[in-house]
Structure formats: structure tokens, C-alpha cells
């Protein structure tokens, strides 16, 4: 085997792949055509949740396949979908107090404080803390603490209480955005402009430009203070 290659096991089958690849890149190198469990490729969509174990290490680890480099003797399986429980609600009618969590996600009050969710988070978020905020109805804090959640579901896969952490956090962010965060007149005006087609010509013009020119426009754009 080439010294720059490593041996990995994808769903139990051994492959020799370049050692500088991510798990996602290694899967494609091995011939897998990724139709599910593959999105942005930069760690922001949460589609490529993965579990793995390195030979000789008893710990079962979790990651996003697009972010994690392969290691020799890595045993890998992907989780392109994790069955989170999503409560059904009308955001325009729910009560804005801690009772809403009791009604929609009562399992959060069964949290045993094991912190497995935080340890598993692929984004390094303090998941147990934002669940604690949700329990107390502190939706602003829950929204802020969970802001970078990519809904991969890995935290929930480790939870003995069966909490759907990403869905709890999403509800808190929706409540915060609709009812608690200060109104932004500038944003509301811009949304109306978009709905009225003010930027249609500009968007069509941008779509016709080469990537190099788009990068130049982005890097030199005017940024509001």
C-alpha cells in the first residue's frame, strides 16, 4: 500500500484511500455516489452525520463526514437521517412561556444531566445548557446558545431521555424571532422590497456573471456598520 494511503472500513468493507481526504472525500474515492447524507460540504448543513471507531479504541465517536479526516483503521458508518421528534404547532398561537415546552417537548424535563449531548455535538455547542434554558422558558438564551446548530441529530442519538434537542432549539429560536427580539424596521422594509420585485433585474444580472467576478463583488461589497 502507498505510504500516503490509509486503510478504512466503510460499512464493514475495507478500502485503501489517500490519508489527506475527509471521510466524505474517501467515500467518493472508494466509489460511493452520495445522493443522501451530503449537502454543503463545509459543515453547515448537518446532512453528513457519521459515527466511527478507530481500531484499538473502544470509544464510539461522532462527527460530520465533510469536516473529519480519515485515520488508519477507522471503521465508519454514516447517519444521513436521524429520527428526531418534531412537535406540530402553530407559531402564531402558542403561549410564550415555559409551559409551551412542557406541552410540546415534555421529555426535556427528563434530562438526567449526563452531558452526552454536549460531548457529541459536531459543532461544539453546549447542548445541555440550552436545554436547561428551554426548561426555564429562557428562550432568548436558548436561541443564542443554539444559534449554530445544524440539526444533524447526533446529540439526540446519545440522549438516554430521548430528547430531540435540535427541534427544541428551533422552537426557541422561532419564539425569540417572532415575539421577543426587537423589531427591525430596516429588515421589514427590505423584505417588502424583495417581495415587490425591486431586485429582480439585479439578481438576473448576478446570475449571469462568472464566479471570479462574483467573488470580487462579494469581497469588495459595502458593509453596513
Considering the chain, tell me which residue range(s) the CATH 3.10.20.740 domain(s) occupy.
5-78
State the average pLDDT over residues 199-221.
Answer: 93
pLDDT tens digits, residue range 132-160?
A: 999 999 999 999 999 999 998 999 988 99
Does residue 81 carry a pLDDT above 80?
no
d(CA 168, CA 96): 14
CA distance 111 to 130: 12
Q: Using pLDDT thresholds of 50, 70 and 90, give the confidence band for residue 179.
A: very high
pLDDT tens per residue, range 107-137: 999 999 999 999 999 899 999 999 999 999 9
pLDDT at 2: 64
Mean pLDDT calculated for residue range 15-33? 94
In three-state secondary structure terms, 150 is coil
95 vs 101: CA distance, rounded Å: 10
**What percentage of the chain has pLDDT greater than the value 70?**
98
How far apart are the C-alpha atoms of 201 and 14, rounded to whole Å? 52
Calpha distance 6→209 (Å, rounded): 41
- Please tell me the distance from the alpha carbon of residue 9 to that of residue 20, in angstroms, as a whole number: 16
Q: What is the pLDDT of residue 44?
A: 80
203 confidence band (pLDDT: 50, 70, 90):
very high
Residue 172 confidence (pLDDT): 97
- Whether the per-residue pLDDT at 1 is higher than 60: the answer is no
Helix (H, G, I), strand (E, B) or coil at 178: helix
- For residue 207, give the C-alpha cell: 446570475
**pLDDT value of position 39:** 83
DSSP assignment string, 65-108: TTT-B--TTEEEEE-S----------TTTS-SSTHHHHHH-GGG
Average pLDDT over residues 150-172: 94
Class of the domain covering 5-78:
alpha beta
Q: What is the DSSP letter of 182?
A: P
Write down the pTM of the prediction.
Answer: 0.76
Would you state the pLDDT for residue 146?
97
Mean pLDDT computed over every residue of the chain: 92
Which positions ≥6 away from 128 have C-beta within 8 Å? 111, 113, 115, 117, 118
Amino acid at each position: 500500500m502507498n505510504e500516503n494511503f490509509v486503510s478504512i472500513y466503510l460499512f464493514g468493507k475495507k478500502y485503501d484511500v489517500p490519508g489527506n481526504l475527509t471521510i466524505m472525500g474517501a467515500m467518493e474515492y472508494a466509489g460511493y455516489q452520495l445522493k443522501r447524507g451530503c449537502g454543503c460540504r463545509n459543515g453547515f448543513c448537518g446532512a453528513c452525520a457519521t459515527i466511527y471507531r478507530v481500531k484499538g479504541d473502544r470509544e464510539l465517536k461522532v462527527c460530520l463526514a465533510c469536516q473529519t479526516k480519515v485515520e488508519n483503521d477507522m471503521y465508519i458508518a454514516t447517519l444521513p437521517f436521524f429520527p428526531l421528534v418534531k412537535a406540530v404547532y402553530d407559531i402564531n398561537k402558542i403561549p410564550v412561556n415555559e409551559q409551551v415546552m412542557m406541552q410540546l417537548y415534555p421529555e426535556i424535563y427528563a434530562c438526567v444531566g449526563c452531558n452526552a449531548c454536549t460531548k457529541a455535538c459536531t459543532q461544539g455547542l453546549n447542548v445541555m445548557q440550552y436545554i436547561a434554558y428551554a426548561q426555564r422558558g429562557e428562550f432568548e438564551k436558548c436561541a443564542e446558545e443554539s444559534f449554530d446548530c445544524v440539526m444533524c441529530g447526533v446529540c439526540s442519538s446519545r440522549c438516554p431521555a430521548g430528547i430531540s434537542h435540535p427541534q427544541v432549539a428551533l422552537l426557541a429560536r422561532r419564539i425569540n424571532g417572532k415575539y421577543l427580539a426587537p423589531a427591525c424596521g430596516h429588515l421589514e422594509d427590505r423584505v417588502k422590497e424583495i417581495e415587490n420585485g425591486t431586485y429582480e433585474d439585479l439578481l438576473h444580472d448576478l446570475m449571469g456573471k462568472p464566479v471570479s467576478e462574483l467573488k470580487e463583488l462579494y469581497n469588495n461589497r459595502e458593509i453596513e456598520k
